[in-house]
Structure 1
Amino acid sequence: MIKVLIVDDEPKLRQGLQTLIPWESLGFTVAATAANGAEALTVVEDTAPDLALVDIRMPVMDGLQLIERLTSAGHSMQFIILSGYADFEYAKQAIQFGVAGYLLKPVNTSELTAGLMRVRERIEENRSKLDHRRLEAAEREWALNRLLDPRKSAEDPAALKRLALEAELSWNRYEVVVIQPQVPEAERSDAPSRLSVALKPVVEGRGRGIVAVRPPYAIVLLREPLRGRQQREELYREIRNAAGDVRFVAATGGAVSGPEEVGASYSGAQEAIKRAFFSEKERLLEPNSPPYFPPNSPLDSSPDSPRLPEDNAQEAMEELVFRLHYSLDVGNRSMILPLLNEAAALFLKQGQDEKGIKESFFILTNAVIHKLTAGSRQGLKNTEAASRFLNGIYHQAHLHDLLEEIHRFLLSLAEDSGPGGKEQDLKKMIDFIHRHYADNLRLETLAGLLNYSSAYLGQLFKNKTGEYFNTYLDRVRIRKAKELLSKGMKVYEAAERVGYTNVNYFYSKFKKYEGRSPSDYKNP
């Protein structure tokens, strides 16, 4: 049945048209009525009619305004205009909108019936053409999915050429573009189809190629390769406009010369998509693109000269945790981002993939958070926010987004650094030693974090405390060990608790500063 909408501000006319015309016997059904153009706009969205009988003169929004709004919005329905004699010339303006006809009031049922028959033929013809186009499109999408399969290319290239010819895909050149919507899991099954529909007018409507869906991707097969950066940027903008608010990554597999090579272009685009985490944002990715680092970024240079031990991943991680913890603990905000960049450079140099890097940053930041919570004079204020942050690490689409988010969160944990200067730095350093004496503290590391040379900081420290750094640290550790031993702790346990992994070394240090062994102290 062909659905009809009657739009007229006269209730009697609306009712009369519904009862006087044998709609069903003519192949029509009255789906809805409306009293003016504004009301009709809402009805159209709900009922999707095929034909509208529209009065010219109506309050709020007249018939011509309604037709103009609907045609400009892309609705493909047919229109028959109803007008009074005085509006006959005015009604002719509707010809530019492609109306199927117009009738004078009072409506002659025979004339309207004849007009409806003509409209029905037009609608049925359009439906037939649309069904044919849809069938052709389905066949071409099926053919494209065959071409995209690299295994088919290897099996029988000649068969793929015949398939492309039959599906009207036999072109001189090809280029595959893959778009992956980045949406929540619940939307992943529908997102590629929605994007595909939005892209069809841009691609197929302009004769540039065809669009298909191959979950989790929307696929564009171009018949003319993209030439140069400008064309790639233009296509990316068109994809972004079609995607609306949906985030996505898009990649080209490069131009190929035959249908049997389309699968290779598709594979290249897939590989580029997999490397999107390491690539530049907001651009069409390309095969074999190296990882992107902004100019003058620490990431751009640090991979060639890492400051962390590469041969021992555990040692490198502990070193990173220590540096970040110390910088946050003393309020040295300027060191956080360089340390995160250094960590990323090390993980890249170790050959970690996206999953590995996210896991490494999860371990790193989780350890820093726990150390801050355990050693801070004020506990972690918002454990829920920390949980959200840690979980969010796995949802970051780009390495640079991940680093920015970690940087932002860690800065929110940093204590205010207070007034600067050497005196303040030394106070922070001494305070840190008394709270973290059991850690693997080294003057060289602390100097780097405070932006001093180790020799200069060592001299400042001696001037302030009267002792060298290592001597001061040993005295703090031995003093704490004495407390533990007096409470009955075993010697090896006390040694480990205060930061000595070698018991014999602990014995020698204890005897040096106390004049007797820890065993003697434990059992006076």
Structure 2
Amino acid sequence: MIKVLIVDDEPKLRQGLQTLIPWQDLGFIVTATAANGQEALNVVEEQIPDVVIVDIRMPVMDGLQFIQRLSALDVPMHVHVIILSGHADFDYARRAIKYGVAGYLLKPVDIHEMSALLKQVRERMEGERAKGEQRRFGKANRDLLVQHLLIPQEEAHHPSNVRSALQEADLLWDNYEVVLVSPQVPEADRSDALIRLSQGLKARMEPSKQGVVTIIASYVALLLQAPLRGKDRRLDLYRELQDAAEEVRFVAATGGAVSVPEEIRLSYGKAQEAVKRAFFSKEDGLLGPSSPCYPVPVTSLSSGEPSEAMMEELIFRLYYSLDVGNHAMILPLLEEAAACFIGQGHNEKSVKESFFFLSNTVIHKLGSGLRMERKEMESVSRFLNEIYQYGRLDELLEGIRRFLVELATDAEPSGHEQEFKKMIDFINRHYADNLKLETLARLLNYSTAYLGQLFKNRTGEYFNTYVDKVRIEKAKELLAGGMKVYEAAERVGYTSVNYFHSKFKRYEGRSPSDYKNP
């Protein structure tokens, strides 16, 4: 509805105009009235009406003074003024017409004349609005036009004629393709990064009429005129993006080509989804709707934390692989962990949180056997914080692998003798854990049968017997130091005191209590 302000010092006339004119049928609504020009100015500043119907002769501030003051007001839209006057005021009213008033009516007001004039004012306003839209969406505002095409707007905010607006802005093309670029920077630096990237791309893309560059949401958006057909064309564009981004890391994705302006938003939506999946992507360069990637969570929230047993198993296998020097197993184990997290519906943030916990725990276990210097501790802290900065899952996994391997105490062993020595050392340090020959065989890439035979040949004992004897020897030391039998049993890895009793008597021929100091 077009808002109307009625200004007249006669209450009956104000009331008569409100009731006699079919405002609603004509597309208008009376939102306020005023008794003089000064009151009217106050209303205009507060409500900003579209149309003011004002009498010429009024006290305090007459109609002519009001129109003069109105033209000086800083209002965001043009206000249409209709003058009311008697026959004697015609010359006076004529002076007001030079200010560009919308119409002039004599008192007493004829309903039909007023209705006809209001229709003319409405048509004029509609024409002005259409021209304003064309100016708004013309060459001077190509960015705004592109943004309206990328994201669906309410009908009231759309240009009345999209194609004419595109033609005026020189954007009526045979094809369109949207590419979104997302700088991989901390949130505090994102705004500056978007501006710099946008300016760099504008200088490269727009003079050659490759397309239009704008900033929308948290992306730099490119609306391209020619579809990106073929790997070479996509690679050329990606290199241009790299040149414009300079040293800033980014993710870029295309939404594919469309042939009509109304489908531009579809290309934008597909590009947006591809950017969101970028962390799980398995390829470099410009991503697209069909780019291969790890299975992506269907929800934006994690469906549940990894189970305690699952995390313990992953930590156990990672730590022991590092401890025995089987560095080749680290990346496959990390990939297995990623598959577990993704399978539980984790998004990028929760995957990184899970790997932070996993890495921190493994580092802690490795560090318990190391004398870490201050520089090494700082390196660990820096590495853990960098987990959240990785833009791709495969890069994150490789970064974790590299750091853990570098942190491990021993280099990767070579030859059976070194491997055997490491295994013996491993048992002597981890006798209290739930050691199994199958676990060590898997970590050392041997079959269980082969490793068991190798162990028997070198030690003269079966694996389980050797572990039991190591445990019993350690238990004897603990008992001699005054530790209770059940405490010593738990300390060396036996969950059952009775089982510990039988093992101890079998190998030592005496009861554990015989080794306790009186």
- TM range, normalised to the smaller chain? 0.5 to 0.7
Identity %: 62
Kindly indicate whether residue 216 of structure 2 is the aligned counterpart of residue 222 of structure 1: no
Check if 1:438 corresponds to 2:439.
no
- For residue 460 of structure 1, the aligned residue among 454, 460, 472 is 454
Structure-2 change in CA distance of 1:251 and 1:190 (3 Å): same
Equivalent position of 1:264 in the other structure: 266
Distance 1:164 1:375, change over 3 A: farther
Q: CA shift at 1:254, angstroms?
A: 1.8
The amino acid of 2:150's aligned partner reads L
Map Cα deviations across residues 1-57 of structure 1 (whole Å, 9 max, x no partner): xxxxxxxxxxxxxxxxxxxxxxxxxxxxxxxxxxxxxxxxxxxxxxxxxxxxxxxxx
Report the equivalent of 1:469: 463
- Report the Cα offset of residue 396 of structure 1: 1.3
Offset of residue 492 of structure 1: 4.6
Say if 1:137 and 1:481 are closer, same or farther in 2 by CA, change over 3 A. farther
C-alpha distance 203-268 of structure 1, shift in aligned 2 (>3 A): same
Alpha-carbon shift at residue 517 of structure 1 (Å): 6.0
Report deviation, 1:284.
Answer: 1.0
Are 1:362 and 2:356 matched, yes or no? yes
The alpha-carbon deviation at position 262 of structure 1 amounts to 2.4
1:492-507 equivalence runs, <5 A: 492-503=486-497, 505-507=499-501
Matched residues in 2 for 1:421 and 1:282: separation?
38
| Deviation at residue 364 of structure 1 after TM alignment | 2.1
Shift of 1:218: 0.7
Equivalent residue for 1:208? 210
| Pairs within 5 Å for 1:272-311 | 272-291=274-293
The offset of 1:383, in angstroms, is 0.8
1:247 equivalent in structure 2 = 249
Distance 1:255 1:516 in 2: 83
What are the superposed Cα offsets for residues 351-392 of structure 1, whole Å, 9 maximum, x if unpaired? Answer: 43322332222222222211112134x446711111111111
| Structure-2 residue corresponding to 1:385 | 379
Alpha-carbon distance in structure 2 between the residues aligned to 1:164 and 1:504: 87
Give matches, 1:104-503, under 5 Å: 136-137=138-139, 139-150=141-152, 152=153, 156=155, 159=158, 162-163=161-162, 165-168=164-167, 169-291=171-293, 313-376=307-370, 378-379=371-372, 382-417=376-411, 420-503=414-497
- SS of the counterpart of 1:190? helix
CA 508–259 in structure 1, closer or farther in 2 if over 3 Å, else same: farther
Equivalent position amino acid for 1:165 in 2: S
Instruction: Tell me how far apart the structure 2 counterparts of residues 244 and 175 of structure 1 sit (CA, whole Å).
Output: 24
Shift of 1:393: 1.2
Q: Deviations over 1:221-257 (max 9, x none)?
A: 1233322322222221222222222221111112234
SS in 1 for 2:286: coil
- Contact 1:256 / 1:265 at 8 angstroms: preserved in 2? yes
Q: Is the 8 A contact 1:272 1:286 kept in 2?
A: yes
Alpha-carbon offset, residue 507 of structure 1:
4.7
Give the secondary structure class of the aligned counterpart of 1:253.
strand
In structure 2, C-alpha distance between the alignment counterparts of 1:419 and 1:261, rounded to whole Å: 59
Kept after mapping to 1: 8 A contact 2:283/2:292: no
Q: Distance in 2 between matches of 1:330 and 1:485?
A: 30
Change (3 A) 1:517 1:265: farther
Q: 1:514 to 1:340 in 2, by over 3 A?
A: same
Cα distance change, pair 427–143 in 1 and its aligned pair in 2 (3 A): same
What SS is found at the alignment partner of 1:397? coil
- Give TM-score, length-normalised by structure 1: 0.63
Instruction: Kindly report which structure 2 residues correspond to 1:92-107, keeping only aligned pairs within 5 A, or say none.
Output: none
Map of 1:33-112 to 2, 5 A cutoff? Answer: none
CA gap of 1:418–1:196, structure 2 versus 1, over 3 A, is closer
Cα distance in structure 1, aligned partners of 2:139 and 2:247: 27
Partner SS state of residue 207, structure 1: coil
Partners of 1:265 and 1:315 in 2: how far apart?
Answer: 44
CA distance in 2: counterparts of 1:145 and 1:269, whole angstroms: 14
Matching residue of 1:123: none
TM-score if structure 2 supplies the norm length? Answer: 0.63
Aligned to 1:302: none
Mean CA deviation greater in 165-174 or 262-271: 165-174
Amino acid at match of 2:165: E
CA drift at 1:186: 3.6
Kindly provide the amino acid, as one letter, of the partner of residue 162 in structure 1.
N
* Superposition deviation, residue 424 in structure 1: 2.1
2-structure distance, mates of 1:380, 1:324: 23
C-alpha distance in structure 2 between counterparts of 1:505 and 1:266, whole Å: 67
Check the 8 A contact 2:228/2:234 in 1, yes or no.
yes
Deviations 1:319-378 (A, max 9, x none): 3323332333233333333433443344444443322332222222222211112134x4
Query: For 2:306 and 2:213, how far apart are their aligned partners in 1?
Result: 49
Give the gaps of 5 or more residues in structure 2. Answer: 1-134, 296-304
CA distance in 2, matches of 1:418, 1:217: 45
Provide Cα deviations, 1:78-104, integer angstroms capped at 9, x if missing partner: xxxxxxxxxxxxxxxxxxxxxxxxxxx
Compute the displacement of 1:407 (Å). 2.4
Q: Is the Cα contact below 8 Å between 2:213 and 2:222 reproduced in 1?
A: yes
1:511 to 1:160, Cα distance in 2 relative to 1, 3 A: farther
- Contact 2:174/2:260, CA 8 A, preserved across alignment: yes
Shift of 1:478: 3.0
Task: Tell me the equivalent position of 2:32.
Answer: none
| Structure 2 CA distance for aligned equivalents of residues 227 and 140 of structure 1 | 25
**What whole-Å deviation, never above 9, does each CA across 1:436-457 have from its counterpart, x for those lacking one?**
1122221112112222211111
1:429 Cα deviation from its structure 2 partner:
0.8
Q: Specify the alignment match of 1:110 in structure 2.
A: none
SS of alignment partner, residue 438 of structure 1: coil
**CA distance in structure 2 between the partners assigned to 1:384 and 1:167 by the alignment:** 56
Equivalent position of 2:55 in the other structure: none
**Partner SS for 1:211:** strand
Structure 1 unaligned spans of 5+:
1-132, 294-310
Cα distance in structure 2, aligned partners of 1:312 and 1:512? 42
The structure that has the greater radius of gyration is 2
* Aligned-residue offset at 1:286: 0.5
Q: Give the match for residue 31 of structure 1.
A: none
